[in-house]
Structure 1
C-alpha cells in the first residue's frame, strides 16, 4: 500500500475523524476553512480513493456519499507492514524504529504486543 498524497490524506483524515459518511461537498466545506479548493478537485480525489479501495460510496439523491473502507489504524498498519516487508533486514529496521520512539510510544508498543499475544492465545 502506498502512502497517500497530501489531498488524499486530508480527505481520509476528515472522514476517519468524523466517523460518518460524507459527501464531497461536506469535505470541501471543511477543507475550504484552511485553503480554497474547487469542488471538482475534491470530487475527483474522492473518486480516486474509491477506485483505490480506500473509500466506499453510495448514491444519496444526486450525490455520492463516501466512507472509509478501513480504519486509520488499519491503514497505518498496512504502511508499516509494507515498510518491513520491503526491507531485507526487518529486525534491524525494527531496532532503528524502537531507538527513535518516545517512552510513551514504547509503552504503547509493549501494550500492543501484549494484546496481540493474548488475542493469538500464545
Structure 2
C-alpha cells in the first residue's frame, strides 16, 4: 500500500484528532502550513477512502473521514512492504538505522529490549511452538 506525501500529511492530521473530520476541517488544518485548494483535499480524501486508507462516513451531508489504521500499524505495514521489496538485506537495514539520530536509536533499542523481554516471558517466540 503506497502512500504519497499528501496522503501521509492528511493521515497525520486525522491521527492528531480523536474524532472523524470533514474535508473542510482537514483543509483548515492543512492550510495552517501550506496553501492547498479545498478540492484537492476533498478529492484526496475520497481517493484515500477508495484505497482503504480512510473510512468515509456518508451519513451526514458533510462526509466525515478517519484513518482506518493507527499510525503504528501503518508504519509497520509500510516497513514490512519496503523490506519485502528489497529482500531485507542486513546491510540496507543497518544503513537505514545508522542514519537515525541518537535519541531515536535509543528509543529503538528500548523497544527491541521490551520485545526480547516479552518473548522470554512468553517462552520463545517465532518457531518455538
TM bucket (normalised to shorter chain) is 0.7 to 0.9
Answer yes or no: is 1:100 the counterpart of 2:99.
yes
Deviation of 1:115 after TM superposition, in Å, equals: 2.7
Call closer, same or farther: CA 1:107–1:28 in 2, change over 3 Å: same
Structure 1 consecutive aligned stretches of length 4 or more whose deviation exceeds 4 Å: none
CA contact (8 A) 1:84 1:93 kept: no
In the alignment, structure 1 residue 26 sits paired with structure 2 residue 25: yes
What do the CA deviations read for 1:82-106 (whole angstroms, capped 9, x no partner)? 2211113532222212222222122
Larger Rg: 2
Q: What is the aligned-residue RMSD (CA, Å)?
A: 1.9
2:40 is the counterpart of 1:41: yes
Q: Partners of 2:28 and 2:17 in 1: how far apart?
A: 14
- Report how many aligned residue pairs link the two structures: 121
Q: Aligned equivalents of 2:36 and 2:108: distance in 1?
A: 38
Relative contact order (alpha carbons < 8 A, sep ≥ 6): 1 or 2 greater? Answer: 1
Partner SS state of residue 86, structure 1: helix
TM-score (norm 1): 0.84
Stretches of structure 2 lacking an aligned partner (at least 5 in a row): 125-129
